[in-house]
Structure formats: C-alpha cells, structure tokens
C-alpha cells in the first residue's frame, strides 16, 4: 500500500519583520531638587499607547487638506513604527485600520479625479524635432496627440505628491498589521473586503504603468520570468516586505493574457507555508567569489530610468499587507476566492526581471504558497488559468548553471528563495488528490523538482546569508512534492517512472543514497515505495544501483526508512515472478536482506 502523504494540519509561519533600529540618544535632564525646600518636580507621565493611537486616529480622520493629510500620516508613521505586537493590537482596537483604509480610499479617489482631469486637458504643443514628426496620432488641427492607453489612463500624469501620500499610507497600514494573528483576523472582518480591492487596483495599475513605460526597453536581454533567462533573476518562512521570476522576447507566457492589455508559513506534506520575505532594502552586497560581474545592464537601466522609490515602496507595501492577511490560516480561503487577487499576484510574479522590486515578487510567491496551504484552495488554484505555469517557470530555473554569471549575492539569494517558495507552493498543491494527475502530467514540473532535489551546494555559501539552509529546504520540499505525486493512480506512477527516460528513478536513488540530510533520504525512499507497483517493477529491477539503495536501507531494522524499503522489496518480489529473467537480478538482493536479519 502506498504511503499516504503527510496529513499534519497546516501550520502557517508567522512572518518575521525587519527590525527597525532607531539611533536616538536620550539625554536625561538633571534631577530637579526644588527651591527653598519645595519637593522636586514630578516627572511627566508618558501617555498610554491607546491614547496615542486614538489621538493619531482622530488626527487622520480630521485631515482634509494636503498639508493636514501629510502631517497626519507622518504622525502615524512616527507612532506605529515599532515591532511590539501588543501595541499594534491596541492600534487596531483604536480604529487605526478604519481610519487608514478610509484615508487610502480618499487618496485613490483624488488620484482618479486628477488622472481624469489631466487626461482631458489638451496635450502640450510638440517640440521641434528637426522635421521629424513624433510618434502618435495627428488631430484635425494639426496638433500631435499622444494616444491614450487601452484602459484610458496615460502614464505618470498624476502628481508625485499623490503617489507619495498613497505610499506612506500603505506603509502605515503595513505597520499596524504587525499585530497578532487574532487582531489581523478581526481587522480583516471589518475592513478587508474594502481594503483588498484597493490594494489589487494599485498593484495592477502600477504593473501596467511599468509595462507601458518600459516597453521600448523590453528585449531578449530582459527576458520575461516565463522564459528562463541565462543570467537574469527570478524572483521561507520569513516576511513579505521583501517577503524575501523566465524563452523569447515576448512579455507574456504562452497561453496567458498580456498584462498591459488587461489588468489579475511549516514543513508538512499536506500543506506547508513559505519562509515569508525579509526586508532586503538594507542588505549589503557581496562580490562573487569566482567572478565579479555586475547585474545585466538592461535590468539596471529599467530600474533607474523608469521607477521611483515611492512607487517601488507602494508595490512592496501593498503586497506585504496582503501577506499579513495570508499568514492567518482562517483568512486564506476568502483571500483565494477574492475576485482578481490570484491574477494580480500572478502578474507580479510574471513580470520581466527588473520591472518590479524583487521584494514584491517574493511577497507574491509567499502569498501564493500560503494560500495553497488551505485544502479548500488547492483545486481552485491548480485550475486557475496560468497559475501552475507561473509557479513551474520560477521553480524550473537552473540556478546551479548560472552561479558564475550571477554577480551579486542579493540577486542569487532572490533566485534561490524564489525557487524554494515556488517549490513549496507546488508541494502544497500536490497534497490534494484531485491535483496529483494534473501535476504529474507536466514534464517541466518533474524536471524542476528533480533539479532542485539534486542542488546541494553553491559557491555562494559561506557569506552568512543562509544559502545552505535554503538549498536544504528546497531539497526537502522537492522530495516531499515528488512523494505526494507518487501516491497517485497507476497511470501516474507509470508516467513518472518513464519521465526523462527513467531519470527520475535514478535521481531518487542517488538522493536516497548520498544526500547528507536524513529527511531528504527518507522522503526519497518513500517516493520510491509509492512508485513501486506491478506495472513499474521492471523499471526498478533494471536498475541495480536502485536495488542496492533499497536493500541497504532495508537492513536497518526499526527505522522508518528500513520499513519503507522492506515494503518496497515485497512489492517487487510479488511483481517479478520466478519465470522472468529479471528474477535472477532480484533474488540475490532479497537473499542479502534476509541474511542480515537472521
């Protein structure tokens, strides 16, 4: 009988957050002794956090003019910038989520009005181009008219002040959601259905704007994440702000809707969540030990020429807020079923390298993996158009072949974390019985999992960034996903054993024999056991190395690996009868195991 996949309850990893250190030196004043025998002056009591939060909330609600709004949000940033969960709970109780959500809706309305007004205003007269006419249409009066994009919105026509206010508001919202999971759940019930559409709207609008702005720069050098670039980066359980992507010049994945045309954390086998992202804004750069090569110039050009820190922060914080919701298990189902959310997350993941901040892409992968942790979401997500393809493209990247060409430790860390999170999401999806057949029919998925299973070491290890730990985690997740897929109907078992002309069986045997981690070895043996049946037994016996690995594990009594190996040999013994030529290969292995137990 096949070993059932792990059925531990989903355990969501609480997103860890960047420690915002303040270098403020407090000089205590000299103690007052009083005059003429009077008692010393009493020290003023600091107002309670609840009073401070309520004062900030009232100030936000009372602000209407631009100057008042900016001052109110700055007060919120100063007050909410800490990592004390109890204090953030009090901020939620004081209504900070209400006030900031309504404040964000006001800013979005103002941005919409400003965009409409500027879109209706006549364009400036064209500059002299030496007889050359600028691109665009020509009006009846001879004026050059820049065409308006399909969605009726042109690029960068709103003032930077609006985007700055929206970005600061999202930063403040993200701060208050560093509270406990209970407070996040309470707040989502109050403002989530209104806040989520605003967040997805901002994400979609910014991604479309970046596509339009960077379209002249999009070339084969800047490959989309769905094309596996030779040197570009594709985007654990840590946090979303850096809730620290792949082969043609087209900017869309095959079968996917082009983004510019239209806007959409434990290690169990059932469902495991990701290492949420970590804030990488302050991470230091380390040169490659083998080759000092800068990032691809086109990627740097895209980031420096088109995208401001304000809008980068807007994308990072918007996705991080959704990540805070996704770390609460009870909210994963309503999030996955929220109209347009999965599509918005996919748009960020599918963006060409350099088009969006790496933290935003990692955030979205982290969210998808956590949503896939809920059994109610697994079939929905596997059937969502293009979602599996997006995850497979990220997981399929051959990072081990690109180590020498990646010239920056941060780019390498993003790459291996992206693969690890994508594999975790695929592991979660593979737990559902309805998804096993669909997933096992995708050769690129099996290739991605086997590649990740054998990626054990890197030249980037040794810099204190946890490279070896991430690679180990990826191997465990890949082995778990393969084990889940192997616990499938016979047709799927046969397809898996024939994958890559039997390369999967060879890879599993190698992992079970030589991987330094015991968990990986046991999961590889469990996968082999799940694959063993009458229809696949010939493929097992035809590989002496595989038989030796199973036999070596079977002689170890009392261990899980030994029990799995013994059961695998019994399946092979029943399937390979004495009248078959391969029985002469199997019989000595069985005798060796029996002799070791005498």
**Residue given tokens 């302050």 in the structure block:** 282
pTM (two decimals): 0.75
Q: How far is CA 417 from CA 3, 41, 361, in A?
A: 29, 56, 11
Helix boundaries (H) for 454-517: 467-486, 490-498, 503-514
Q: Would you say 347 and 207 are in contact if contact means Cβ atoms under 8 Å apart?
A: yes
Question: What gap in Å lies between CA 557 and CA 539, rounded to an integer?
Answer: 26
Question: What gap in Å lies between CA 256 and CA 254, rounded to an integer?
Answer: 6
Q: How far is CA 427 from CA 416, 482, 532, in A?
A: 16, 8, 21
Q: Would you say 178 and 83 are in contact if contact means Cβ atoms under 8 Å apart?
A: yes
Facing residues of 145 across strands? Answer: 137
Q: Would you say 582 and 564 are in contact if contact means Cβ atoms under 8 Å apart?
A: no
DSSP string across 543-580: -HHHHHHHHHHHTSTTSHHHHHHHHHHHHHHHHS-TTS
Q: Would you say 486 and 432 are in contact if contact means Cβ atoms under 8 Å apart?
A: no
CA torsion sign for 329, 330, 336, 338 is negative
Alpha carbon 219 to its chain's center? 25
3-class DSSP assignment, residue 335: helix
Q: Please tell me the predicted confidence (pLDDT) of residue 216.
A: 60
Question: What gap in Å lies between CA 152 and CA 552, rounded to an integer?
Answer: 67
Eight-state DSSP code of residue 275: B
Question: What gap in Å lies between CA 93 and CA 91, rounded to an integer?
Answer: 5
**Residue given tokens 């393809």 in the structure block:** 389
Structure tokens at 480: 């778990």
**Residue given tokens 């029990």 in the structure block:** 563
Q: Count CA within 13 A, CB hemisphere, residue 218.
A: 19
Q: How far is CA 80 from CA 90, 136, 279, in A?
A: 11, 47, 17
Residue 347: closest CA among 305, 376, 375, 318: 318
Q: Which residues, in sequence order, are CB contacts of 430 under 8 Å at separation 6+?
A: 5, 436, 439, 481, 484, 485
Q: Would you say 224 and 253 are in contact if contact means Cβ atoms under 8 Å apart?
A: yes
CA angle at 109 for the pair 105 and 111, rounded to the nearest 5°:
115
Task: Tell me the backbone φ, ψ of residue 455, rounded to 5 degrees.
Answer: -90, 95
The per-residue pLDDT string of the chain (598 residues; one tens digit each, 9 = 90 and over) reads: 444 443 333 444 444 433 333 333 333 333 444 444 444 544 444 444 555 899 999 999 999 999 999 999 999 999 999 999 999 999 999 999 999 999 999 999 999 898 888 777 766 555 544 444 333 333 333 333 333 343 444 445 567 889 999 999 999 999 999 999 999 999 999 999 999 999 999 999 999 988 888 766 554 333 333 332 222 323 333 333 333 333 222 323 333 323 333 333 344 444 444 444 333 333 333 333 333 333 333 343 444 445 689 999 999 999 999 999 999 999 999 999 999 999 999 999 999 878 899 999 999 999 999 999 999 999 999 999 999 999 999 999 998 888 888 888 888 999 999 999 999 999 999 999 999 999 999 999 999 999 999 999 988 888 788 999 999 999 999 999 999 999 988 988 999 998 878 899 999 999 999 999 999 999 999 999 999 999 999 999 999 999 999 999 998 877 888 899 999 999 999 999 999 999 999 999 999 998 887 6
Structure confidence by residue, pLDDT tens digits, 534-589: 999 999 999 999 999 999 999 887 788 889 999 999 999 999 999 999 999 999 99
Helix boundaries (H) for 215-238: none
Q: Which residues, in sequence order, are CB contacts of 390 under 8 Å at separation 6+?
A: 225, 226, 253, 346, 349, 350
Q: Would you say 436 and 492 are in contact if contact means Cβ atoms under 8 Å apart?
A: yes
Q: Would you say 594 and 551 are in contact if contact means Cβ atoms under 8 Å apart?
A: no
CA angle at 221 for the pair 407 and 417, rounded to the nearest 5°:
45
Question: What gap in Å lies between CA 466 and CA 483, rounded to an integer?
Answer: 26
Question: What gap in Å lies between CA 431 and CA 372, rounded to an integer?
Answer: 10
Structure tokens at 39: 């008692």
Residue 6: closest CA among 550, 427, 473: 427
Question: What gap in Å lies between CA 333 and CA 331, rounded to an integer?
Answer: 6
Q: How far is CA 374 from CA 9, 264, 329, in A?
A: 9, 21, 8
Task: Tell me the backbone φ, ψ of residue 312, rounded to 5 degrees.
Answer: -60, -45
Question: What gap in Å lies between CA 276 and CA 239, rounded to an integer?
Answer: 4
Question: What gap in Å lies between CA 446 and CA 252, rounded to an integer?
Answer: 23
Task: Tell me the backbone φ, ψ of residue 184, rounded to 5 degrees.
Answer: -60, -45
């Amino acid at each position: 009988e096949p070993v059932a996949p792990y059925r531990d309850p989903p355990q969501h990893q609480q997103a860890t957050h960047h420690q915002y250190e303040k270098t403020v030196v407090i000089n205590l004043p000299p103690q007052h002794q009083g005059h003429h025998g009077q008692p010393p002056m009493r020290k003023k009591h600091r107002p309670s956090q609840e009073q401070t939060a309520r004062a900030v909330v009232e100030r936000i609600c009372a602000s209407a003019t631009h100057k008042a709004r900016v001052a109110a949000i700055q007060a919120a940033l100063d007050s909410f910038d800490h990592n004390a969960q109890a204090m953030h709970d009090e901020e939620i109780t004081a209504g900070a989520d209400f006030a900031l959500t309504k404040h964000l809706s006001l800013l979005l309305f103002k941005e919409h009005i400003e965009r409409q007004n500027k879109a209706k205003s006549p364009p400036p007269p064209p500059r002299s181009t030496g007889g050359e006419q600028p691109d665009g249409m020509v009006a009846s009066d001879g004026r050059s008219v820049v065409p308006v994009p399909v969605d009726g919105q042109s690029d960068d026509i709103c003032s930077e002040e609006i985007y700055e206010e929206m970005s600061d508001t999202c930063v403040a919202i993200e701060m208050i959601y560093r509270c406990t999971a209970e407070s996040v759940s309470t707040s989502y019930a109050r403002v989530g259905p209104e806040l989520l559409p605003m967040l997805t709207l901002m994400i979609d609008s910014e991604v479309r704007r970046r596509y339009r702005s960077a379209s002249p720069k999009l070339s084969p050098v800047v490959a989309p994440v769905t094309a596996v670039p030779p040197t570009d980066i594709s985007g654990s359980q840590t946090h979303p702000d850096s809730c620290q992507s792949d082969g043609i010049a087209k900017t869309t994945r095959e079968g996917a809707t082009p983004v510019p045309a239209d806007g959409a954390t434990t290690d169990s086998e059932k469902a495991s969540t990701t290492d949420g992202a970590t804030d990488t804004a302050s991470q230091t750069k380390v040169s490659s030990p083998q080759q000092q090569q800068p990032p691809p110039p086109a990627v740097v050009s895209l980031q420096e020429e088109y995208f401001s820190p304000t809008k980068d922060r807007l994308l990072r914080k918007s996705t991080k807020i959704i990540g805070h919701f996704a770390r609460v298990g009870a909210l994963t189902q309503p999030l996955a079923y929220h109209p347009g959310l999965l599509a918005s997350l996919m748009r960020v993941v599918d963006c060409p390298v350099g088009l969006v901040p790496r933290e935003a892409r990692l955030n979205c992968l982290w969210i998808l993996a956590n949503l896939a942790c809920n059994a109610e979401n697994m079939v929905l997500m596997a059937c969502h158009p293009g979602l599996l393809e997006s995850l497979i493209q990220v997981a399929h990247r051959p990072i081990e072949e690109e180590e020498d060409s990646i010239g920056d430790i941060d780019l390498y860390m993003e790459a291996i974390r992206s693969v690890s999170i994508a594999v975790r999401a695929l592991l979660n999806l593979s737990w559902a019985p309805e998804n096993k057949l669909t997933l096992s029919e995708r050769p690129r998925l099996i290739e991605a999992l086997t590649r990740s299973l054998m990626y054990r070491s890197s030249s980037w290890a040794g810099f204190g960034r946890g490279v070896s730990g991430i690679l180990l985690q990826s191997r465990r997740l890949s082995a778990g996903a393969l084990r889940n897929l192997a616990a499938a109907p016979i047709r799927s078992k046969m397809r898996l054993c024939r994958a890559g002309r039997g390369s999967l069986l060879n890879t599993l045997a190698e992992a079970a024999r030589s991987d330094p981690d015991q968990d990986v070895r046991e999961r590889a043996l469990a996968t082999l056991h799940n694959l063993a049946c009458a229809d696949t037994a010939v493929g097992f016996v035809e590989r002496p190395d595989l038989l030796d690995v199973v036999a070596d594990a079977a002689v170890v009594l009392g261990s899980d690996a030994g029990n799995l190996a013994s059961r695998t040999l019994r399946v092979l013994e029943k399937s390979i009868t004495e009248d078959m030529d391969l029985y002469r290969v199997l019989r000595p292995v069985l005798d060796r195991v029996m002799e070791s137990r005498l």
